[in-house]
């Protein structure tokens, strides 16, 4: 009897396993770019995503359930943003722009998609592209966040173009200072924003601009931004550089004057 049962069990295990049905619901954007789909979020993560969308002005469709809201538009936006972030980190600007264009055409691009694109341009040294992407973000009806402004500052500050950087900083301060704007981290300057501008001052020798921003830290829209170690290092380096430059200039001028007098 046991041998009969053993033979029956052995015969059953030899049956070929049924192949899993291939999934056909893969997002065409992720499929074309080879990006993995983002898995479902926990309740806490979904709640944070809804809060972020609300702050960014993205409202879910009326009458939609929580599951429908999280699995439709916001899910496609998360998948798009995951793809854009991966391409931006790899400095694949052309591919990032193409993915963003596809996401915009499908209605998946949100405020964070624009912010990632701005950062991609800035990371790749395309300052004009970063400013154009910032303008496109406004034109699309999205309010630029601190990440967007900080990214837009990178390129002009990297080349010491304080005229452009000063304009971006002034716009951000005016926008974030509006009473109607929610007091959230997304629309509050941070120390990275300040240090990005200070680096531009160091490149161009903008002592007055650096001194002006340093005085504003801890006040107004910068109320929650105390100077950190990098801030102090940058400003000290700028001061020492200026002092050294003035000393060399004075020494050279004095040497030329004495030479002329001796002649």
Segment 118-168, tens digit of pLDDT: 999 988 988 899 999 999 999 999 989 998 999 999 989 988 999 999 999
Q: Is residue 137 part of a domain?
A: yes
* Domain count for the chain: 1
pLDDT in tens, 105-122: 999 999 899 999 999 998
pLDDT surpassing 80 at residue 94: yes
- pLDDT value of position 262: 61
Q: Is residue 56 part of a domain?
A: no
Provide the residue range defining the domain that includes 112: 73-262
Q: Is residue 129 part of a domain?
A: yes
pLDDT surpassing 60 at residue 7: no
pLDDT surpassing 70 at residue 260: no
Q: Is residue 44 part of a domain?
A: no
Q: Is residue 36 part of a domain?
A: no
pLDDT surpassing 90 at residue 207: no
Q: Is residue 13 part of a domain?
A: no
Q: Is residue 5 part of a domain?
A: no
pLDDT in tens, 46-56: 566 556 554 44
Residue 144, Cβ density class (10 Å: 0-12 exposed, 13-18 middle, ≥19 buried) = buried
| Mean pLDDT for the stretch of residues 164-190 | 88
Domain with residue 104: its CATH number is: 1.25.40
| Mean pLDDT for the stretch of residues 241-249 | 65
């Amino acid at each position: 009897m046991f041998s009969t049962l053993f033979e029956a069990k052995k015969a059953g295990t030899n049956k070929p396993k049924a192949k899993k049905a291939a999934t056909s619901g893969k997002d065409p954007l992720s499929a074309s770019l080879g990006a993995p789909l983002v898995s479902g979020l926990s309740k806490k993560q979904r709640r944070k995503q809804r809060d972020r969308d609300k702050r960014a002005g993205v409202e879910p469709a009326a009458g939609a359930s929580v599951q429908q809201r999280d699995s439709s538009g916001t899910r496609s936006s998360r998948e798009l943003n995951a793809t854009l972030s991966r391409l931006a980190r790899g400095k694949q600007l052309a591919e990032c722009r193409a993915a963003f264009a596809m996401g915009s055409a499908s209605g998946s691009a949100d405020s964070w998609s624009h912010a990632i694109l701005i950062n991609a341009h800035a990371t790749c040294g395309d300052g004009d592209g970063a400013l154009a992407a910032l303008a496109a973000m406004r034109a699309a009806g999205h309010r630029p966040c601190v990440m967007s402004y900080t990214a837009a500052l990178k390129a002009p500050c990297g080349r010491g173009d304080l005229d452009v950087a000063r304009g971006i900083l002034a716009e951000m301060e005016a926008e974030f200072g509006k009473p109607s704007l929610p007091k959230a981290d997304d629309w509050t300057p941070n120390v990275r924003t300040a240090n990005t501008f200070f680096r531009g001052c160091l490149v161009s020798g903008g002592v007055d601009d650096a001194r002006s921003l340093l005085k504003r830290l801890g006040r107004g829209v910068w109320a929650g931004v105390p100077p950190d170690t990098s801030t102090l290092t940058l400003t000290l380096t700028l001061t020492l550089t200026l002092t050294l430059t003035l000393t060399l200039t004075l020494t050279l001028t004095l040497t030329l004057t004495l030479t002329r007098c001796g002649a």
